[in-house]
Amino acid sequence: MSGTIRGRHDFHRDAIYFIGVCCLVLAAAGIARFGREPESAAQAFAAETGADPASAATNLPVGVSEDWLAEVARNLEKAEYDVSESAAGLQAPNRAHNLRTYFRDETIEIVPRDQAQPLWTWRWRTAAFGREEALRALPAGERIAGVERIEYRRSGLTEWYANSADGIE
């Protein structure tokens, strides 16, 4: 069984160039502030550079508006939780909780995100469902991966996982 990644609005086609440009702009402006929402992009720039907040918006690169820069920062922060293909298979990092989830054919595995050789691994496999006296074994299903959510579709049951800053649900 293999997984395929389907993105909204053909995300992967346009995102590589967009994210590259955004990273350069954010790095040049010095306002990459993941983990909190700045009052405005100009105020974040001012806080990072020591510039006057009133004039910070004028220090942004030519053609870059404060609104555009704030939207780019929000999109980049959100994209940090997306499901993507890696050498180890489909995976999704969770920076807020320092976890990485691998989506295998029949299981999910959660490990610490920053350890090359994890000290622990948590695995989950849904083997059956129903009431205790009438558990029904689950057949193999189809793994369908989206940008924000992955599903295991089985006869009579769709098991899904979503990854966000709030955690894995």
- Read off the pLDDT of residues 3-19 as tens digits, 9 standing for 90 and up: 444 444 444 444 444 44
> How far is Cα 165 from Cα 149, in angstroms, rounded to an integer?
13
Res 111: pLDDT: 96
**pTM over cut 0.85:** no
Determine the pLDDT at residue 147.
83
Q: Which residues of 160-169 are buried (b: 16+ CB within 10 A; e: fewer)?
A: ebbbeeeeee
Tens-digit pLDDT profile for residues 96-154: 999 999 999 889 999 999 988 999 999 999 999 899 999 999 888 899 998 889 999 99
pLDDT in tens, 18-29: 444 444 444 444
- Specify the pLDDT at position 11: 40
Least confident of 74-83, 116-125, 157-166: 74-83
Whole-number pLDDT of residue 135: 92
Average pLDDT, the chain: 76
Question: In the predicted model, is pLDDT for residue 45 greater than 70?
Answer: no
* Residue type present at position 51: A
Predicted confidence (pLDDT) at residue 35 exceeds the cutoff of 60: no
